[in-house]
Structure 1
């Protein structure tokens, strides 16, 4: 069964607290204590089926048809090597270079791949902000006062 008897005690104490809270204003202390004892026992016993249902619901499904590996073999080896893709990368670069060269030689062939190569990379050039080097000190002080709210 999932869990320990401590969970049952927690459920029992929860029952005691609820019983005391709901009957503190209507019953004398002796009745409250007796009903709290009954609530503890009832919640303690009802915690077993509740724990069983939670364990059945939260249990992960078993994989059917897959052999179980032994625990001894798990975690002892780790393959961290990557395959050598240098040759594939060289082939792609050669194909790109040949494609760009053939597009320059044959301008009538315009495809999606050659259009991107012809356009080339153009970096983003945002507009320049106004430099503060040629501003007068009075204008700079005025701008600073405006920004700080003075």
Structure 2
């Protein structure tokens, strides 16, 4: 881990102060004190997590070198990668297939004879069919009936 316990204590104290002064305006001093202590504990714990992550990021080689390495069973397997090899996964080797023919097909112009000449046809949706003309008196009765409810 990076640093020492003083970092955790200082960050916890800062968390206590922020939490205490943020809640003292709207709460009793005992409630604010309790919330400040909870803020201290939370920031203290987060400082441990932060130190741990920074320790791993600062020296990733020491984290992998602590693993015990097992010897291979035979000498002719030296080309294969063992499961405990510290360099395993450090390189990513990918070969893409050759696509020169597809690329040249895309770049060469095609003759206009082979292109299908479909003309544009707009979409003609079916029209809605309306019912027979309603009697205006019947419609007025329906509106009166709906407005009375």
Q: TM-score, normalised by structure 2?
A: 0.37
Structure holding more helix per residue: 1
**TM-score, reference length from structure 1:** 0.37
